[in-house]
Structure 1
Amino acid sequence: MKIILSPSKTQNHERKRKDKGKNILKEAKTKELFNYLKSLSKEDLGEELDIQGNLLDRTYELYQEHSFEDQTLPAIECYNGSVFKQLDLESYDQEQFSYLQEKLIIISPMYGPLHSDTEIWPYRLEMRLKPDGINLYEYWQEVMKDYFADVDLIVNLASNEYSKVVEKNYQGKIIDFYFKEEKEDGSLKTVGYYVKQNRGRMLEQLIKKQVKSLEAVKNINLEGYVFNEDHSSENEFYFIKPFEK
Structure 2
Amino acid sequence: MKIIISPSKTQDFSGNISKKIQTPFFIKEANEITDNIKRLSKEELGLMMKIKGKLLEKTYEDYENYDTTNTINHAISSYSGIVFKEINVKAFNEKDLDYANDHLIILSALYGILSPFDGIKPYRLDMKIKIGNISLYEFWKNKIENYFSKEDLIINLASNEFSKLIKLPMVTIDFKEEVDGKYKTIGTYAKQARGMMVNYLIKNNIEQFNKIKEFSMDRYVYNKELSSDKEIIFSRKKL
Q: 1:240 to 1:19 in 2, by over 3 A?
A: closer
Per the normalisation by structure 2, the TM-score is: 0.94
Match of 2:174 among 168, 174, 178: 178
Q: What CA deviation, in whole Å up to 9, does each residue of 1:21-63 have, x standing for no partner?
A: 2212122211111122222211100111121222112211222
Task: Count residues in correspondence.
Answer: 239
Describe the SS at the equivalent of 2:22: coil
Does residue 59 in structure 1 map to residue 59 in structure 2?
yes
Does residue 92 in structure 1 map to residue 92 in structure 2?
yes
How far apart are residue 69 of structure 1 and its match? 5.7
Q: What CA deviation, in whole Å up to 9, does each residue of 1:39-90 have, x standing for no partner?
A: 2211100111121222112211222232256342111111111100111111
Q: What CA deviation, in whole Å up to 9, does each residue of 1:192-240 have, x standing for no partner?
A: 1101111101100011111112211111112101110011111111110
Partner residue in 2 for 1:162: 162
Describe the SS at the equivalent of 1:237: strand
Moved more, 235-244 or 150-159: 235-244
Q: Which amino acid aligns with 2:159?
A: S
Per the normalisation by structure 1, the TM-score is: 0.92
Instruction: Report the Cα distance in structure 1 between the residues aligned to 2:141 and 2:148, rounded to whole angstroms.
Output: 11
Describe the SS at the equivalent of 2:165: helix
Does residue 233 in structure 1 map to residue 233 in structure 2?
no
CA contact (8 A) 2:223 2:233 kept: yes
The equivalences for 1:1-245 within 5 A come to: 1-14=1-14, 16-17=16-17, 19-68=19-68, 70-166=70-166, 168=167, 170=168, 173-183=169-179, 185-244=180-239
Percent identity of paired positions between Structure 1 and Structure 2: 39
Q: Any stretches of 5+ residues in structure 2 without a counterpart?
A: none
Q: 1:93 to 1:19 in 2, by over 3 A?
A: closer
How far apart are residue 3 of structure 1 and its match? 0.0
Which contiguous aligned blocks of 4+ residues in structure 1 show a shift greater than 6 angstroms? Answer: none
Instruction: Report the Cα distance in structure 2 between the residues aligned to 1:227 and 1:59, rounded to whole angstroms.
Output: 41
CA contact (8 A) 2:73 2:120 kept: yes
Moved more, 144-153 or 56-65: 56-65
Q: 1:69 to 1:56 in 2, by over 3 A?
A: closer
Q: Any stretches of 5+ residues in structure 1 without a counterpart?
A: none
Moved more, 8-17 or 98-107: 8-17
CA contact (8 A) 1:21 1:117 kept: yes
